[in-house]
Amino acid sequence: MVIYKCTNGKKCSIARKKFGLTKKFACAGYILPDGEMIDLCFKKGQKEKSALWLDKFEHHQIGEAYGKGGSFDEMECFMKQCKAVRFRKQGKDGIIRIQSFTKPTSKQVETVKKAVDEGCSRFIGYAGEDLDPAHKSNPNKEATKKDVMKWVNKGW
């Protein structure tokens, strides 16, 4: 088994500059420790480079910010080194999925709560490498801030 070695401690600032930041939850791919969100939506002219059905970059493409092809190993290194929360909100009232390898900061938690407040039919939070959710909201009722806190408290 090959163990991937994380390199380049400047990943956070490089990714922030390359992809930019967003206030739109639909465009966010990662939430940084300060609560800011990395913008993974395509800019003009970028869409041709990827599959046409996508409206934003895939999370693993964060490696493109520092000259890597964008592997899942690079994505995990980015998340660990930058203490970033992987984030996806599907549709205005859709499902929120998040994953973190480190306990989220209070600013990250507040950002996730704002996304839930904007409208969320389901919340699914993963902790670390565990592929079983640390918390799933009830699919038959709207997700709430309590669902976010259950993920935070159960995950670490």
For residue 6, being part of any structural domain is answered with no
Structure tokens at 60: 């693993």
Q: Determine contact, residues 16/37, Cβ cutoff 8 Å.
A: no
Structural domain for 143, as ranges: 11-155
For residue 117, being part of any structural domain is answered with yes
Classify strands 95-100 and 122-127 as parallel, antiparallel or unpaired.
parallel
For residue 3, being part of any structural domain is answered with no
For residue 100, being part of any structural domain is answered with yes
Residue 5: predicted pLDDT: 56
Structure tokens at 126: 């993963």
Alpha-carbon torsion (28, 97, 69, 104), positive or negative: positive
For residue 5, being part of any structural domain is answered with no
CA dist., res. 84 & res. 47, Å (int): 25
Burial of 92 per CB tally in 10 Å (0-12, 13-18, 19+): exposed
For residue 84, being part of any structural domain is answered with yes
Which residues, in sequence order, are CB contacts of 7 under 8 Å at separation 6+? 77
Burial of 28 per CB tally in 10 Å (0-12, 13-18, 19+): buried
For the chain, 156 residues long, give each residue's pLDDT as a single digit of tens.
Answer: 344 456 556 778 888 888 889 998 888 999 999 999 998 886 655 544 444 434 566 777 787 776 666 677 778 888 888 999 999 888 666 789 899 988 999 999 999 999 998 888 889 898 887 778 888 988 888 888 899 999 888 876
For residue 1, being part of any structural domain is answered with no
For residue 34, being part of any structural domain is answered with yes
Residue 49: predicted pLDDT: 46
Residue 66: predicted pLDDT: 65
**Which of these, 132, 19, 120, lies nearest to 145 by C-alpha position?**
120
**How far lies 63's CA from each of 50, 119, 133, 152, in Å?**
15, 30, 25, 27
Report how many domains make up the chain.
1
